[in-house]
Every structure is written in C-alpha cells, then in structure tokens.
C-alpha cells in the first residue's frame, strides 16, 4: 500500500480521535452524592487515547518508510479505470436509490436501480429486465407476503403487491 496513503490513514484516525475527545468533553459528569463516577465520556475518551497512540504510530512508521523509499503517487488513472468507476457508480446510485425509495416506492425504485446497474455491469438489456423483475418479485413474496415486512410504498403510492 502507498506510504502516503498510510500517512493519511494515520492522520484520519488521529483526527477522528481528537474529534471524539472534543465532543466527549461536552458530556455531563456523572456525580452521585459527592462522589464522581465514570461518566458518558469515560469510555470514548479512553478509546480515543488508544486511537491517537495507534494512529500516531502508523504515521511515524509510514513517514520513516517514506524517507527510506520515495513514495509513489496515487495514479491519475484511478477515475478512468472501469472497475473503479463501477465502485463509484454503485455508491452514488445506492444513495440516489435510497432517496428515490421514499417517493417512488420500493417496486419502481428497485426495478430502475437494478436495471441500470445490470446494464452497467454488462448483463444486457433483456437479461437485465428479466432479472430485475425477478428480484423485485422475489423480495415482494419473501419480505412482504411471507415475513410481513412493510417496504416503502413511496409518495406516488404505487402499490403492486396488495
């Protein structure tokens, strides 16, 4: 793994820990009578200290290695790579899918999400349509009919399974 990435990993861990400590300091103390007991911030602060030490160690090790060996730059080709694009497309389409679930309802949103992804992943239009329909029907039968899970109907109120 890229040494620069390792440094960033360490920095992010330390930053998270410092953030947790800052937030934890605003938690109230836990006092019963005149005795002070470990409050809500006790555990998070201990964990943050551990993270700062471990993150700091990561930074030091990566920095030492980086001095010994010239760090490689993160490839500019990252975003051009078909596989990496897939990962990013899935993340964004998942977020958009969840957003649309609320008003398109489960049936439509899932069908569209599934079809788009299947086409992107080289399944083809016909197979994509068939398997997206199957996915929606299986989930309807399994979750809604059998397990009585209430799936989002959406603002449009398109309900196909009643």
Q: Counting Cβ atoms within 10 Å, is residue 109 exposed (0-12), middle (13-18) or buried (19+)?
A: buried
> What minimum distance in Å lies between the beta carbon of 146 and another protein?
8
> What minimum distance in Å lies between the beta carbon of 29 and another protein?
9
CB distance 29 to 39 below 8 Å: yes
Cβ proximity to another protein, 130 vs 158, nearer residue = 130
What per-residue string of b and e applies to 74-96 under the rule 16 or more CB within 10 Å gives b? Answer: eeeeeeeeeeeeeeeeeeebeee
> What minimum distance in Å lies between the beta carbon of 24 and another protein?
8
Distance CA 160, CA 153 (A): 9
Cβ proximity to another protein, 67 vs 81, nearer residue = 81
Distance CA 120, CA 77 (A): 20
Name the residues that contact another protein, by CB under 8 A. Answer: 1, 5-6, 9, 13, 16, 20, 23-24, 27-28, 30, 32, 35-40, 42-44, 47-48, 50-51, 54-55, 57-58, 82-84, 86-87, 90-91, 94-95, 97-98, 101-102, 106, 110, 113-114, 117-118, 121-123, 127, 131-132, 135, 139, 142-143, 146-152
> What minimum distance in Å lies between the beta carbon of 152 and another protein?
8
Nearest CA to 107 out of 156, 141, 155, 153 is that of: 153
Cβ proximity to another protein, 39 vs 63, nearer residue = 39
Q: Virtual CA dihedral for 82, 88, 92, 93, nearest 10 degrees?
A: 40
Cβ proximity to another protein, 47 vs 157, nearer residue = 47
């Amino acid at each position: 793994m890229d040494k620069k990435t390792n440094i960033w990993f360490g920095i992010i861990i330390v930053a998270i820990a410092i953030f947790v400590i800052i937030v934890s300091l605003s938690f109230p103390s836990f006092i019963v009578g005149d005795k002070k007991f470990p409050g809500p911030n006790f555990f998070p602060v201990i964990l943050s200290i551990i993270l700062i030490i471990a993150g700091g160690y990561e930074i030091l090790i990566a920095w030492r290695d980086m001095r010994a060996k010239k760090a490689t730059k993160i490839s500019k080709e990252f975003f051009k790579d078909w596989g990496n694009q897939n990962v990013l497309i899935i993340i964004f389409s998942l977020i958009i899918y969840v957003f649309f679930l609320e008003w398109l309802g489960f049936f439509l949103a899932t069908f569209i999400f599934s079809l788009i992804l299947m086409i992107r992943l080289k399944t083809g239009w016909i197979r994509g349509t068939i398997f997206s329909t199957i996915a929606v029907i299986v989930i309807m039968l399994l979750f809604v009919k059998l397990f009585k899970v209430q799936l989002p109907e959406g603002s449009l109120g398109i309900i196909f399974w009643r």
